[in-house]
């Protein structure tokens, strides 16, 4: 058998106990240190190599979609109802309720909406006051025209006013009260052509009541009707009434 005898060292191989000694007989602890020991560097593990042809579009299998957490849903807050107030003398109508809904829908603050309501009410009051001032001025102008009228005014003014009122009362019928309320509020109660016409009717009714008086001291219906139509239509009455 070929082999190495026991106790003999292999040729060219130092025995296990014969470790390399430090140079110059220096011990491991007493010898000179020639620089800091080398720090081992960790080598990162290499990423697995992509397979040939492994691209976004060429990879095998279906890509797994990214799991996205569902967005949190919030319940919108219900806005508090508007508490808008109308100034004294105004009443809520459909347009007011519509404005409240629009203001709340568009996020207008209640105090801002109330300011708009107050401003609108102020504008309406000013408009109404101007209308009343215009009507008063018109009534005054037409009354002045009647007082200066040669046929109606002057010393005959008061008498002609009474004639006009009596004609209105005599022929107003069931509409008399409505007419009086309208003329009291509207400037047309002083409209010169209308007032003069009624005065003529009233005057003609008085004159014909004497001519057409019956035995009981009253007037015949025909006399009243003739007076009315004569005052309204003048000569046209003379040709049409007698037919």
How does DSSP assign 34-75, residue by residue? Answer: -SPPPPPPPPPPPPPPPPTT--TTT-SSPPPPPP-PPPPP-P
User: Do 169 and 217 touch, CB atoms closer than 8 A?
Assistant: no
Bridge partners, residue 219, by sequence? 213
Torsion of CA 97, 100, 106, 110, to 10 degrees: 180
CA-CA distance, 155 to 140, in Å (whole number)?
19
CA-CA distance, 54 to 46, in Å (whole number)?
17
Residue whose C-alpha is closest to residue 100's, from 118, 87, 88, 83: 83
User: Which token pair is 239?
Assistant: 């040709």
Residue whose C-alpha is closest to residue 151's, from 92, 99, 197: 197
CA angle at 64 for the pair 60 and 69, rounded to the nearest 5°: 170
Q: Which residues contact 203 (CB under 8 A, 6 or more apart)?
A: 160, 163, 231
CA-CA distance, 49 to 55, in Å (whole number)?
12
Neighbour count for residue 149 (Cβ, 10 Å):
16
User: Which token pair is 220?
Assistant: 């015949």
User: Which token pair is 26?
Assistant: 């220096």
Q: CA dist 158 to 48, 137, 140, Å?
A: 121, 21, 16
User: Do 116 and 122 touch, CB atoms closer than 8 A?
Assistant: no
Bridge partners, residue 213, by sequence? 219
Q: What is the pLDDT of residue 81?
A: 65
The length of the chain in residues reads 243
pTM, two decimal places? 0.50
The rounded Cα 34 to chain-centroid distance in angstroms is 91
pLDDT tens per residue, the chain (243 residues)?
A: 454 445 444 444 445 444 444 444 444 434 454 555 555 555 555 555 555 555 555 556 565 666 676 666 666 566 566 789 998 889 999 999 999 999 989 999 999 999 999 999 999 999 999 999 999 999 999 999 999 999 999 999 999 999 999 999 999 999 999 999 999 889 999 999 999 999 999 999 876 654 444 444 444 444 455 555 455 544 444 443 444
Q: What phi and psi values does residue 194 have, to the nearest 5 degrees?
A: -70, -45
CA-CA distance, 237 to 23, in Å (whole number)?
161
End-to-end CA distance of the chain, in Å? 177
């Amino acid at each position: 058998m070929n082999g190495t005898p026991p106790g003999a060292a292999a040729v060219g191989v130092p025995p296990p106990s014969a470790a390399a000694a430090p140079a110059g007989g220096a011990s491991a602890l007493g010898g000179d240190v020639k620089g800091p020991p080398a720090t081992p560097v960790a080598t990162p593990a290499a990423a697995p190599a992509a397979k040939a042809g492994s691209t976004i579009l060429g990879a095998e299998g279906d890509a797994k979609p990214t799991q996205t957490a569902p967005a949190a849903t919030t319940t919108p807050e219900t806005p508090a109802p508007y508490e808008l107030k109308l100034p004294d003398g105004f009443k809520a109508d459909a347009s007011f309720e519509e404005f409240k809904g629009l203001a709340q829908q568009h996020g207008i603050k209640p105090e801002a909406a109330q300011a708009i309501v107050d401003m609108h009410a102020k504008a309406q009051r000013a408009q109404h006051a101007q209308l009343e001032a215009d009507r008063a001025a018109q009534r005054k102008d037409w009354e002045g025209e009647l007082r200066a009228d040669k046929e109606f005014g002057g010393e005959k003014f008061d008498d002609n006013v009474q004639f006009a009122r009596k004609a209105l009362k005599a022929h107003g019928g069931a509409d008399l009260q409505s007419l009086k309320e309208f003329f009291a509020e509207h400037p047309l109660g002083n409209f010169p052509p209308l007032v003069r016409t009624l005065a003529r009717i009233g005057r003609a009714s008085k004159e014909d009541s004497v001519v057409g008086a019956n035995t009981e001291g009253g007037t015949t219906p025909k006399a009243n009707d003739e007076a009315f139509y004569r005052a309204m239509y003048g000569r046209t009455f003379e040709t049409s009434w007698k037919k």
